[in-house]
Amino acid sequence: MGALLIDAIELLDGRLDVLIISGGNGYSEYLGLDPTDAASYRLMYDVAVLSPLLLTTAAAPYLSQSKGGGSVVMVSSLASHVPWPDTAPFNLAKAAQNALIETLAFKHRQDGFRVNGILPACIHTGALDVMAAHKNKSVVDYAALRAESHPMGRIGTPQEVAQAVLFLASPASSFTTGALIPVDGGLKLSSWFNRPKLLAEYVGGAKA
């Protein structure tokens, strides 16, 4: 992470104002992670916690020199609040990432930069298309199924996440640090487990 940061600083002529951390490992939370295998938990912890921690630590000296006040924005997930049992490695890592965001925000509270997080629910990225194929469903049908769990009745777009990131990265949020902002269509107000159709699709309904 330190070497990556140094390369970036050289390209930016020695100046860093905003650090946006939106990392993944090529797996979705529905593909490739085994909740019974410790390796899945270690993998997600490395991606969601250790990498952002080390990257922010390397960036701190540069962010603290930002003339307008530096900003770190991490893209976490609402999965930490409405966890699905089969995605435990992802849920736990994102809960730890949320704690990391708050910890770093307090640690650097007077160092000239802020640390905040975004908690998206289901967003229609390429990963959703891969999940649909994995479930032998059309993208339209799978997106509609996922939309049923959101009180607003739809899933989100990458642009809607980007607007929230932009707010936290900009001076418009200059008095905000340690915030965890849901971009979730109201999912935090509800629960996956209130959706019988989702239960039937994923965990056999009655078994839950």
> Which residues fall within 8 angstroms of residue 132, CB to CB, at 6 or more apart?
138, 139, 141, 142, 143
Q: How many Cβ atoms from other residues are within 10 Å of residue 9's Cβ?
A: 16
What's the rounded mean pLDDT across residues 53-82? 94
Domain count across the chain: 1
Please report whether residue 66 resides in a domain. no
Please report whether residue 21 resides in a domain. yes
pLDDT at 32 over 80: no
Distances (CA, A) of 169 to 64, 105, 114, 116, 163: 14, 14, 9, 9, 10
Please report whether residue 193 resides in a domain. yes
pTM of the model: 0.87
* Beta bridge partners of residue 114, listed in sequence order: 71
What's the rounded mean pLDDT across residues 43-50? 95
Domain span at 108? 2-59+71-207
When pLDDT is cut at 50, 70 and 90, the band that residue 208 belongs to is very low
Q: Give tens-digit pLDDT for 146-204.
A: 888 888 889 999 999 999 999 999 999 999 999 999 999 988 877 655 565 665 666 55
Please report whether residue 30 resides in a domain. yes
